Chains A and B, each alone.
Chain A
Amino acid sequence: MIKIDESTRKQFLECYNDREIMLEGHILKLIDSTGDQEFDSYIKIAIERDADNRRKRIDFNKEVQKQNTQLKKTEAENNDIKKRLRDALTTAEQAKNLAINDLEELQKRSQVELIGTIVKVSLWIVCAVGLITTLLFGISLFTGVDNKIVESAWSNMFGILLTNSFSIIGTIMGVKYASKKD
């Protein structure tokens, strides 16, 4: 225990009487005031005041701690909501991209199908024209009718058809390549 000398004791008491300033903290519990009623009363009041202050501080700190815990909880909830929103946004973005891709695919496919139909019809026309011309030329050959005009028409027609056939075959190949799935 700590013994306080007379002069220091007097100064402590004066300080309290004049300005209401007292000792505080753990040191109060180490001061020996036995046998001195006035100083003993001073120490008791100081300990009580210190305890009051500590009680107030402890209550305040507990309140702050509670609020901190609540804030942390709210922050965690907010982060969770943000994460879920981000995930939902990503899913929506993916669905949108998928829909756009499907639409493009559909448009491309219908275009390809149209081209395919045109090509098929053209091929049938080419074959039909070729067959009819050949048939006419054959008839004119067997019947002995003047076949100069049919002959030249047949050869011209056949040449044109042959050239066009390559073009059509090329188109068919192109269409097939374009419509091929990855």
Chain B
Amino acid sequence: MINSILLVDDENLFHLIFEDACNLLDITLSLKSLNSAEKAEDYFKEIVAKTRKRPDCVFVDLNIIGSAFDGVELIRKINFEYGDNVVIGIISSSDDQFEQAKAMKAGAQFWMVKTDEIEPRLEQFKKDFDAYLNRTQKFTVYK
């Protein structure tokens, strides 16, 4: 089981779906959901300032509507400014290969396509998580 997950997605309804899916699949008991890139950045700033434990894994939406910057930029910030061995990736309804390449360059380790059937992808991700943590898993697209 993953200790803690942070989800950054503008769609509040998806927070509920993701939380329920994680609970049903025993993926994590500790899930935090934020709906803007700025809030996620502030959250990481606070973690660094107060030397609190970072989440083990971060799922970031590609287009976080209402945010000053997109998911790829947030991943870059978390990876290079605040993150320390955080497994991070994109969760998006898009399956654009150009965006996937951009995300990979920014430090994303996975890309999960967000459709109705999210559970099988989360299950597969759960199996791969340890390899992500050990940095032995190559960039994977779950679709």
* B68 CB contacts on chain A under 8 angstroms: none
The answer on a CB contact under 8 Å between A61 and B26 is no
Q: Which of A57, A62, A68 has the most CB of B within 10 A?
A: A62
Query: Do residues B20 and A54 form an inter-chain contact, with CB atoms below 8 A?
Result: yes
Question: Considering only CB atoms, which chain B residue lies closest to A65 in the complex?
Answer: B13
The interface residues of chain B lying within 8 Å CB-to-CB of A58 are 16-17, 20-21, 24
Contact residues on A (Cβ < 8 Å of other chain), bracket: 10 to 19
The minimal Cβ–Cβ distance linking A65 to chain B, given in whole angstroms, is: 5
Q: How far is the CA of A29 from the CA of B14 in the complex (A)?
A: 23
Complex CA distance for A50 and B13, rounded to whole angstroms: 19
Q: How many residues of B contact A (CB 8 A)?
A: 13
Query: Are A26's CB and B23's CB within 8 A?
Result: yes
Measured between beta carbons, the chain A residues less than 8 angstroms from B13 are: 61, 64-65, 68
- B19 → chain A, closest Cβ, in Å? 9
Which residues between 1 and 34 of chain A lie within 8 Å of chain B, taking CB atoms?
26, 29-30
Is A29 touching B20 in the complex (CB atoms < 8 A)? no
Closest to B19 in A: A54
Interface residues of B (CB under 8 A from A): 11, 13-14, 16-17, 20-21, 23-24, 26, 29-30, 116
